[in-house]
Amino acid sequence: MTELTEMTETIEITEEMVLGALRAVKDPDLHKDIVTLNMIRDIKICGGVIGFRFVLTTPACPVRDQLKFEAEKTVMAIAGVERVEVKMDAEVPKARGVIDKADIEGIKHIIAVSSGKGGVGKSTVAVNLACSLSQMGARVGILDTDVYGPNVPIMMGGNDMPMAKGNLIIPPVYHGVKTMSIGLLNPGDKAVVWRGPMLHSAVNQFLRQVEWGELDYLVVDMPPGTGDVQLSLAQMVSIAGAVLVTTPQEVALGDVRKAYNMFDQLHVPILGIVENMSYFECPNDGEKFYIFGNGGGEALAERYEVPFLGAVPIAISIREGGDLGVPIVIGQPESAQAKAFVNVAQNVAAQVSIAAIKANKALPVLNLKK
């Protein structure tokens, strides 16, 4: 008996034991275990105290807390473990692009925010998406390609004329987000008349002659519809995916279907559908009014078999945030409206990670000797 106790006491906890246990924890979105996904790094073992870094594929991971909890619980269950110290971290993986399209160095994922028609809240969603991702710790840029109605500068609260460095334009930073828009280069109400080839070269310059630096996500606010800009963007670079914004009443109209078909033909993955102006919540008693009908966006997502990324209510504070240049996720982060946008941002980030992991069939090699 004494021999046995002595033996168990001297069993040393090894890195292999920790990794072996953690293989039981699966990422629910990526459908693989966290060790295979190379999310566990820098394991340190000091007697019964185990520490490691848990590297997610996005700082905006919707299941971050759940994964942390499960990892801690699993390692705690190893005999002899007294304490577990998990440091949560994130590295956005780069998806390998389509071979015939040149990637933009430094930009990991381009997310196109699009819709069938104007006025559904594309720019509002794009701006709050970019700011949410940035708030959660990602490196983010926003590019306004709506040359006819560039709203991004107003919504981001900036109107600085961008500076040049050599032949590169330096994007001003608002709310932590590198921002570029034709509205910054052509301030005022002067109308711009662009034809297809000019649009093409404008989009190209915005992508390649702006000093974006290292970005996890570049959010692109698109003009409405299925026009030249969408075509140019899809031809020039590989896009991680498109977020389709709709309102409940637009659902009946088939505009979304046109947008869906266009991206499908251009081989741009659809990350999912956001339903904006989904409902109105009475500020007095919280009752929800589905002014334009309930559940349309979700039904549409189901019909096209694409993810439903979330519903955003119609609210005065959201409109005011846009007009004042302080997006609601920055100005009133604790509000229900801001949380609706954060939910959308987390779902978008998760879909981008899923697409990246799918595209990179060869996962990063696990290096035990780190």
Ligand X SMILES: Nc1ncnc2c1ncn2[C@@H]1O[C@H](COP(=O)(O)OP(=O)(O)O)[C@@H](O)[C@H]1O
51 binds, among ligand X, Mg ion, none (CB under 5 to 8 A by kind): none
* Window 84-103: residues binding Mg ion (CB under 5 A): none
Q: Is 230 an interacting residue with respect to Mg ion (CB under 5 A)? A: no
Output 118 or 137, the one with its CB closest to ligand X: 118
Output 146 or 216, the one with its CB closest to ligand X: 146
Binding piece for Mg ion, criterion CB under 5 A, among 57-65, 140-148, 210-218, 360-368:
140-148
How many whole angstroms from its chain centre is CA 277?
Answer: 20
216 binds, among Mg ion, ligand X, none (CB under 5 to 8 A by kind): none
222, burial (CB in 10 Å: exposed 0-12, middle 13-18, buried 19+): buried
120 binds, among Mg ion, ligand X, none (CB under 5 to 8 A by kind): ligand X
Output 58 or 151, the one with its CB closest to ligand X: 151
User: For residues 320 and 331, what is the distance between their CA atoms, to the nearest angstrom?
Assistant: 10
Q: Cβ(90)–Cβ(61) under 8 Å?
A: yes
Q: Is 351 an interacting residue with respect to Mg ion (CB under 5 A)? A: no
Q: Which residue has the tokens 């619980």?
A: 73
Shortest reach from residue 228's CB to Mg ion, in Å: 16
Closest to 58 measured CA to CA, from 141, 137, 143? 137
Output 137 or 333, the one with its CB closest to ligand X: 333
211 contact partners, CB below 8 Å, separation of at least 6:
165, 168, 169, 170, 171
Q: Is 276 an interacting residue with respect to Mg ion (CB under 5 A)? A: no
Q: In the set 57, 123, 232, 247, which binds Mg ion (CB under 5 A)?
A: 123
User: For residues 356 and 78, what is the distance between their CA atoms, to the nearest angstrom?
Assistant: 33
Output 29 or 146, the one with its CB closest to ligand X: 146
Output 22 or 243, the one with its CB closest to Mg ion: 243
Biggest CA–CA distance in the chain, Å, is 90
Residues that bind ligand X (CB under 6 A): 115, 118-124, 151, 276-277, 312, 314-315, 318-319, 322
User: For residues 43 and 368, what is the distance between their CA atoms, to the nearest angstrom?
Assistant: 9
Going from the C-alpha of 202 to that of each of 65, 107, 222, the distances in angstroms are 42, 18, 13
Residues of the shown chain interacting with Mg ion in the complex, contacts defined by CB under 5 A = 122-123, 146, 151
